[in-house]
Amino acid sequence: MKKVYYTPSTPMVDVMKDDFHRQDMLCSLGFKPGFKENTSVLEACNDQGVNVELFLLINNLYTYDDYAPDDDIVKGLSVEQTLKCNSYAQDFFFHVNGVDLRRKYDRLKSRLEDSSMLTGLFDALWDSLCKQYADIDKLIEQYANAPESITSAQVEHIIIGLEQECYKCTEHLIEYLEGLRLTGENRAAADDFTGYLKFFRKDCGRFDTAKNVAFRKMIRS
């Protein structure tokens, strides 16, 4: 049986029910909460001013590991919408996911006698995330202003390097937290932070990867 991916006619309720965290992802794309009953992906995108090709590309990449977009999807990508998408994702990170991340870090830090190692590892992760958003913004703006000045190979090298750095920093922090010899509420705080980092690495990282793939494919088209 052939797998059915999301299409412009897919009901938005079907997109939402496939993943508990989908609402966060839609906010990162610039969607406002709430859809009319039986609203299709195309209708929802048109109502909210979101590029439907970008929506489908990111959601299908996010959901299906074997998804390979066709040429029509890639050709319909908008530089302006891709730049907006990165901007919305950045805002959502700093005002939602990033707030949760820092809150759990602060809770654990206040319980440790020596928090210098934790602080160093967390600062490295935070800096790498900020750099990823800022550098990709610059790439998209450069492409928008002068497409001939940037090649797909350059984009591939820069984005993969940024993603790998974020992943490495997250892994180092998780390894450190899992190795801490703590008990009681201190252990619970460390486990809570570790669990969120693993969610962050899987869910937020998957969204960022899908978003960055969309940009790379737009450059190649």
* Dihedral-angle region of residue 58 (phi above 0 means left; psi in -120 to 50 means alpha; beta otherwise): alpha
Rounded to whole angstroms, how far apart are CA atoms 63 and 66?
A: 9
Per-residue pLDDT band at 21 (split at 50, 70, 90) = low
Q: Where are the beta strands (DSSP E) in the chain?
A: none
The pLDDT score that the predictor gives to residue 220 is: 63
Q: Name residue, tokens 């570790």.
A: 194
This prediction's pTM: 0.73
Rounded to whole angstroms, how far apart are CA atoms 97 and 8?
A: 29
Per-residue pLDDT band at 18 (split at 50, 70, 90) = low
Is residue 43 over pLDDT 90? yes
Burial degree of 91 (CB within 10 A; 0-12, 13-18, 19+): middle
Is residue 2 over pLDDT 60? no
Is residue 107 over pLDDT 90? yes
Estimate to the nearest angstrom the gap between the alpha carbon of 101 and the chain centroid. 14
Is residue 207 over pLDDT 80? no
Q: Picking from 75-84, 119-128, 147-156, 186-195, which range would have the lowest pLDDT averaged per residue?
A: 75-84
Of 211, 208, 214, give the one whose Cα is nearest residue 77. Answer: 214
What is the dihedral angle through the alpha carbons of 48, 155, 22, 165, rounded to the nearest 10 degrees?
-140
Instruction: Name which residue leads in pLDDT, 181 or 210.
Output: 181
Q: Picking from 75-79, 87-91, 141-145, 159-163, which range would have the lowest pLDDT averaged per residue?
A: 75-79
Of 174, 199, 180, 184, give the one whose Cα is nearest residue 115. Answer: 180
Per-residue pLDDT band at 96 (split at 50, 70, 90) = confident
Structure tokens given for 75? 């050709």
Residue type for 75, please? Answer: K
